[in-house]
Structure 1
Amino acid sequence: MVDNNTRDVFDAIADPTRRKLIHLLSESKELPLHELTTKFSMGRTAVSKHLTILKEAGLVLDRKVGRETLFRLNATPLREIQDWVAFYSKFWTMNMLRLNHLFEEEDK
């Protein structure tokens, strides 16, 4: 059952800015918003909106430290994407093996 308050992980990673945020957060334990903002040619509010979408998908966790909010990656939801890609990778591998087998049969 899907919680209506969460965002689809595929939707969340569809945007290149959000993928870059995921990458940046994967390289650090935690980063504050002001540091993340310096990596983009957009304002703090725009970066914050992207982080909100990632939070709604469960990909980003945050915590307040004084006046600052620190963000960190929660890669667990990416498993859904990994599983989806693995399924289709297996699908294409099996089809290529079948095709190869047909070619081998024709050569005989």
Structure 2
Amino acid sequence: MDETLDRTFAALCDPTRRALLARLGEQESLSVSELAQPFAISLPAIMKHLDVLSDAGLVAREKTGRTVACRLTARPMEQAMNWLNHYAQFWSDNLDRLAAFVEDDPWSTNLPSQPTPASPRAQASPSRGGSARGRKRSTPRGPIRKT
């Protein structure tokens, strides 16, 4: 099953292949040339994308005379959806527990209500930033130029 999932997700990682699947989802079956029509890439490039989709089992091709028709197959997507749903449930459960924990907020309800003390800096002597006496100079003052 892991190989099937790997191939499915590898096939789905390309936007052109996802667009091809979307087109096939609109109609039951399309010929390769009909499928390739709206894309601004060559027919051989479309064929390579279809090869990847076929190898992943997402698309089935059927040749009738000179026409190759493509249609969606559901099984690999069902497996991928089952895998995604399993992890969606995992994350949903964990996020629900986190939300419940945050909403309970045991830290704020267990503490007695006391005024918040001022920060240690605020309790220290007033700032000396404005007084010349408190500032240190890094270099001695040079001669004053007249302009």
TM-score class normalised by the smaller sequence: 0.7 to 0.9
Q: Over aligned residue pairs, what C-alpha RMSD do you find?
A: 1.8
Residue 59, structure 1, aligned to residue 58, structure 2: yes
Tell me the number of residue pairs that the alignment of Structure 1 and Structure 2 aligns.
Answer: 105
- The structure that is helix-richer by fraction is 1
Structure 1 residue 38: deviation in Å? 0.8
Per-residue deviation, residues 66-104 of structure 1 (Å, max 9, x unmatched): 111111110221012211221221122111111122123
Q: Percentage identity across aligned positions?
A: 37
Structure 1 residue 55: deviation in Å? 0.5
Structure 1 residue 2: deviation in Å? 6.8
Residue 70, structure 1, aligned to residue 69, structure 2: yes
Amino acid at match of 1:67: R
The alignment partner of 2:61 has SS state of strand
Provide the rounded CA distance (Å) in 2 between the counterparts of 1:11 and 1:104. Answer: 40
The alignment partner of 1:95 has SS state of helix
1:46 aligned partner: 45
Amino acid at match of 1:35: E
The alignment partner of 1:42 has SS state of coil
The alignment partner of 1:62 has SS state of strand
Runs of 4+ in 1 over 2 A off after TM superposition: none
Amino acid at match of 1:73: L
The alignment partner of 1:64 has SS state of strand
Structure 1 residue 105: deviation in Å? 2.2
The alignment partner of 1:8 has SS state of helix
Structure 1 residue 29: deviation in Å? 1.3
What TM-score, normalized by structure 1, do the two folds share?
0.87
Unaligned runs of 5+ residues in structure 1 are none
Amino acid at match of 1:11: A
What TM-score, normalized by structure 2, do the two folds share?
0.65
Higher relative contact order (CA 8 A, sep 6+): 1
The alignment partner of 1:77 has SS state of helix
Structure 1 residue 36: deviation in Å? 1.1
Provide the rounded CA distance (Å) in 1 between the counterparts of 2:61 and 2:103. Answer: 56
2:99 aligned partner: 100
The alignment partner of 2:21 has SS state of helix
